[in-house]
Amino acid sequence: MRDFPTCFGESGVQVSDASSNPSKGAQNLVTCLYSTQLNGRSCVITITWSKNMMGQGLSIGIEDSRNNALCKVDIKPWLFSKRKGSKSTELENSKVEVFWDLSNAKFDSGPEPLEGFYVAVLFDFQIVLLLGDLVKEAYRKANAGPPTSHSMFIAKREHVFGKKVYCTKAQFCDNGQIHGIMIECETNGLKDSFLEIRIDKKRVMQVKRLLWKFRGNQTILVDGLPVEVYWDVHNWLFDASMGNAVFMFQTFVSNQKSVLWGSSQVFKEPQLRSVSFSLILYAWKNE
């Protein structure tokens, strides 16, 4: 079985900050990456949802394929007392605008809204990214029509908390079905430790003798697509002070270029028709 960090490198994803901050505030961040085209060049829009005692927050950044930060828009948590608004900034003689409305947004336990909202990113008065289900409202508020180019959801990083069961939702292909993911990991009795993963309540993977298989990878099928699952539960078994495990789900497409995750999120040399999707989960044990 291949070494876990090596697996990440071979599959185009590296996680350099998997246990960078064992703080419970980590559970309140969800980061999503979308590839798009701006002025004919490939770029990545990074959407980071946050949640703290002051409320919900939102940060939007745009980078090019060389990891150059082009612009960033921060919507501070306290601004969400209004729950809607807009911001604009300049980018190389072009205008970037962000419109959002979370007045009636519905949330689960995390910071990312589920429905009843929209977030629209405009470049030179054209929508390049539209999130949420209030599509007509977004078009009307932004005074814009449907997007002229397609933004593809390529990666997501999320922090999840639990005692031995960790749940989230994910799409494994662009515009695909949203699936429920449940990870169950028993590590208290080392000899009987096991890892089990369910997709939509159906068991798709089980790892026994986890003491000897605390890092590894296995292929599962979701929506007919092969999804490689990587896991690293070393800290749970051997270093409880660190507290977190790392799981990654990645779909593979031919001619894939690299997606690099680290302390700064970078998308390298994107090719919109061949890029894969990566979901990285940092799982933290509740006391």
Digits of tens for pLDDT over the chain (287 positions)?
A: 333 333 343 333 334 344 444 444 444 789 999 999 888 788 899 999 988 777 778 899 998 877 778 888 888 766 666 788 888 888 878 888 999 998 888 988 788 898 999 999 998 888 999 999 999 999 999 998 777 677 888 899 998 888 889 999 888 876 778 899 999 988 776 677 899 999 999 999 999 888 889 999 999 998 888 899 999 999 888 876 667 899 999 987 654 444 434 333 333 333 333 447 899 999 988 76
- Whether residue 191 sits in one domain with residue 139: no
- Whether residue 214 sits in one domain with residue 198: yes
Q: Which of 153, 188, 212 is the last residue of a domain?
A: 153
- Other residues' Cβ atoms within 10 Å of the Cβ of residue 37: 16
- Whether residue 136 sits in one domain with residue 31: yes
Q: Which of 106, 129, 153 is the last residue of a domain?
A: 153
- Whether residue 175 sits in one domain with residue 128: no
pLDDT of residue 45: 93
- Whether residue 32 sits in one domain with residue 147: yes
pLDDT of residue 79: 61
pLDDT in tens, 152-189: 888 999 988 888 899 998 888 767 788 999 999 887 76
- Whether residue 69 sits in one domain with residue 141: yes
- Whether residue 140 sits in one domain with residue 68: yes
pLDDT of residue 53: 76
pLDDT of residue 10: 36
- Whether residue 123 sits in one domain with residue 43: yes
- Whether residue 60 sits in one domain with residue 133: yes
pLDDT of residue 182: 95
What is the rounded distance in angstroms from the CA atom of residue 184 to the CA atom of residue 162? Answer: 10
Q: How many structural domains compose the chain?
A: 2
Pairing of strands 84-91, 94-101: antiparallel
pLDDT of residue 115: 92
- Whether residue 85 sits in one domain with residue 199: no
What is the rounded distance in angstroms from the CA atom of residue 50 to the CA atom of residue 112? Answer: 8
- Other residues' Cβ atoms within 10 Å of the Cβ of residue 53: 6
pLDDT of residue 1: 37
- Whether residue 270 sits in one domain with residue 244: yes
Domain that holds residue 104: 26-153
- Whether residue 192 sits in one domain with residue 182: yes
pLDDT of residue 282: 92
Q: Which of 128, 153, 178 is the last residue of a domain?
A: 153
Nearest to 227 by CA among 159, 176, 284: 176
